[in-house]
Amino acid sequence: MKKGQKILALLLAGVLSVSMFGCGQTKQAAGDAKEVATETESEDNILRVATSFAYPSLDVHKEYYGWYTSIYGISETLFKLDADSKAVPFLAKDAVADGTTWTITLNDSVAFSNGEALTADMVIRNIQRIAEINSRFDIFGTFTYEAKDDKTIVISTGDEVYPTLKSDLASPEFGMVDLDHTKDFDHNPICTGPFVIQEFIPEGDVTVARNEHYWGGDVNLDGAIFYYMQEDDPKLLAMQSGEIDCYNSVSSAALEVYKQEPDKYNVTSVAGTRLQFYIVNENRLDDAVREAITLTVDKDAIATYLKGTVTAASAPFPSTSAYSQVSIPAVDTAKAKKLLEKDGYTLNADGIYEKDGKPLQINIAYYAARSLDTVAILMQEQLRAVGIDSVLTVEEDPDATYISTGDFDLALYSMISDKCGDPLYFIDSTLAKDAYYNVGGFEDAKCQELIEQLRVETDIDQRAKLANQILQIAIDDHAFGYVGLFNHTTVMKPGVSGFAEDSPFDFYGIDANTTK
């Protein structure tokens, strides 16, 4: 061996030895640290959660930040939405409507984490602040407010009846904040929830500690840490390594892994409020084709393909809600074919229906998010099987393209269908005349009449009835197809419970009853 080679060999051996020793030491040290950490993690009463979103502010009233202060268990609202999407009392005892006047009574014992009582005046100022800084709720700026006494608020909605006030007040943006004593709304709002902010990293991790003065009584957890983790794989690995205790919005791939070890992971799943749906363009497709599409699209098959991430939908809302009681025709491809043939279509040599020498080909517009790309391909296959050809058009921004131009035969879209336990928002956004998402030419006098009634009806049961009638008209007209509702899927370590796992809404998380 030459001298140079010897030196090189020695050098390499030295580097390797040092590296191996170093690695061994590092591994041992890291292993020790991890052992201690794991021991501490399992022993302490701190819940560790992975979250997919993080925001630069904790100002409950701004943007959608209130969704997260609600998830973190910091802020609470006058009413809360239960598993059946009903607004039930929370900070308030009750809300009674009398025409354009609402009377809200607060619970006597409610106090902020600093011990200050929640008063009617504070509630009014909170609502006024929301109207001022959150343009989605600017209508609340047109109402007049009066504190009848320390615990009673009277809200006058002017000339118009405003039946959704109670459910609107259940929106997380209406979390109550101590406006007099909060010094930093963006980083440390003083609220009424069972937890208070311990550390907040803007667009990063959030640590909360138990509110020792919680008005609702005992709080089970000592605190919680919310780790901002967008990617699915690190969440799965962190769950496997024991660094996190729970998270929701579990991917289908991770779901398969968790299901294989039921003794290690509890997985719960309820249909949520995020809807996949399609709009059929009535200006371009005649009745027979629209009905044939309805009879062909197999939502159950799509849900099965999406492996537990969605539940096949019959209505735009979870089936547990009173306003999703509609009937939809069963999948019947033979009937779909008959309908087309009755309408003058004949099958050509390629197995595609044609009329007057023109093949039946529709344009399916979609965007590649919320699994709509998969839905588009599956629908294309299903339609092709009955003789309806289709071309897929993908857009990056549906609102700026096919939703605003109406240039589609069938358009896929995904949105929150129920934001606060009431059907009006979705119906008003998609079915009302000139609605933002009524871009397929759907128009029905009876439906519009019912929508106008829904706008002023204050009785909850009657509202559900009206909503069901409205939705049924749109379904029977084959104007829309409600494909699936994303499941609110939560994975938890054994022992963890009360992480809003039975709620269809995205904005609930830990509360006083959450355990680890």
Partner 1 sequence: MKKQIAIRVIELILLLIVLSLLTFALMYIAPGDPAEKRLSSQGVAVTREVLQAERERMGLLRPFFVRYGEWFVGILHGDFGISFKDDLPVAPKLWNGLQNTIVLAMGSLLLSLLVSVPVGIFSAVKRNSMFDHIARILSFVGNSLPNFLISVLLMYFFCIQLDAFPIIATGSLQGLILPTLSLAIPMASRFTRQIRTEVATQMDEDYVVGLRLKGVKEHYILLRNVFHNSIGHIFTIVALQIGTLMGGSVVIETIFRWPGIGKLVMDSITARDYPVIMGFVLIMGTIYVGINLISDIVNRIIDPRVEW
Binding residues for partner 1 (CB under 8 A): 4, 26-27, 30-31, 34, 37, 55-57, 63-64, 67, 135-136, 138, 203-205, 227-231, 233-234, 237-238, 240-241, 243-244, 274, 395-397, 399-401, 414-416, 419, 425-426, 428-430, 436-437, 506
Structure tokens at 141: 């700026």
The CB-of-96 to partner 1 minimum distance in angstroms stands at 27
Report the alpha-carbon distance of residue 26 to residue 94 in Å, rounded: 60
Contacts of 261 (CB under 8 A, 6+ apart): none
Give burial (CB, 10 Å; 0-12/13-18/19+) of 458. middle
The CB-of-170 to partner 1 minimum distance in angstroms stands at 14
CA-to-CA separations, 52 to 47, 175, 182, 206, in angstroms, rounded: 16, 21, 27, 12
φ/ψ of residue 372, rounded to 5: -70, -25
The CB-of-58 to partner 1 minimum distance in angstroms stands at 12
Q: Which is nearer to partner 1, 106 or 239 (CB)?
A: 239
Report the alpha-carbon distance of residue 220 to residue 279 in Å, rounded: 46
Report the alpha-carbon distance of residue 104 to residue 118 in Å, rounded: 13
The CB-of-46 to partner 1 minimum distance in angstroms stands at 13
Q: Which is nearer to partner 1, 88 or 201 (CB)?
A: 201
CA 425 to chain centre: 15
Structure tokens at 140: 């609340």
The CB-of-340 to partner 1 minimum distance in angstroms stands at 33
Q: Which is nearer to partner 1, 116 or 205 (CB)?
A: 205
The CB-of-35 to partner 1 minimum distance in angstroms stands at 9
CA-to-CA separations, 40 to 46, 47, 241, 349, 478, in angstroms, rounded: 10, 12, 14, 70, 57
Report the alpha-carbon distance of residue 43 to residue 37 in Å, rounded: 10
The CB-of-419 to partner 1 minimum distance in angstroms stands at 5
Instruction: Characterize 196-233 residue by residue with b for buried, 16 or more Cβ atoms within 10 angstroms of its Cβ, and e for exposed.
Output: bbeebeeeeebbbbbbeebbbeebbbebbbbbebeebe
Give burial (CB, 10 Å; 0-12/13-18/19+) of 314. middle
3-state secondary structure of 377: helix
Structure tokens at 182: 């909060």
Q: Which is nearer to partner 1, 392 or 415 (CB)?
A: 415
The count of C-alpha atoms lying within 13 angstroms of the C-alpha of 260, restricted to the half-sphere facing its C-beta, is 7
The CB-of-214 to partner 1 minimum distance in angstroms stands at 27
Q: Which is nearer to partner 1, 147 or 394 (CB)?
A: 394
Please report where in the chains the tokens 């539940």 appear, as a residue. Answer: 311
Q: Which is nearer to partner 1, 238 or 328 (CB)?
A: 238
Structure tokens at 381: 């296959």
Structural contact between residues 203 and 54, judged by C-beta atoms closer than 8 angstroms: yes
The CB-of-411 to partner 1 minimum distance in angstroms stands at 14
Contacts of 279 (CB under 8 A, 6+ apart): 408, 410, 411, 413, 430, 437, 439, 440, 442, 479, 480
Q: Which is nearer to partner 1, 187 or 335 (CB)?
A: 187
The CB-of-431 to partner 1 minimum distance in angstroms stands at 12
The CB-of-150 to partner 1 minimum distance in angstroms stands at 34
The CB-of-158 to partner 1 minimum distance in angstroms stands at 16
Q: Which is nearer to partner 1, 63 or 116 (CB)?
A: 63
Report the alpha-carbon distance of residue 145 to residue 121 in Å, rounded: 9
Report the alpha-carbon distance of residue 370 to residue 278 in Å, rounded: 13
Q: Which is nearer to partner 1, 323 or 345 (CB)?
A: 323
Q: Which is nearer to partner 1, 27 or 148 (CB)?
A: 27
Structural contact between residues 191 and 176, judged by C-beta atoms closer than 8 angstroms: yes
Q: Which is nearer to partner 1, 193 or 272 (CB)?
A: 272
Q: Which is nearer to partner 1, 90 or 277 (CB)?
A: 277
Structure tokens at 397: 């921004």
DSSP state letters, 59-74: -TTSTTHHHHHHHTT-
Residue 273's DSSP bridge partners are: none
Q: Which is nearer to partner 1, 336 or 372 (CB)?
A: 372
The CB-of-51 to partner 1 minimum distance in angstroms stands at 11
- Going by the DSSP 8-state scheme, the letter that residue 197 receives in this structure is E
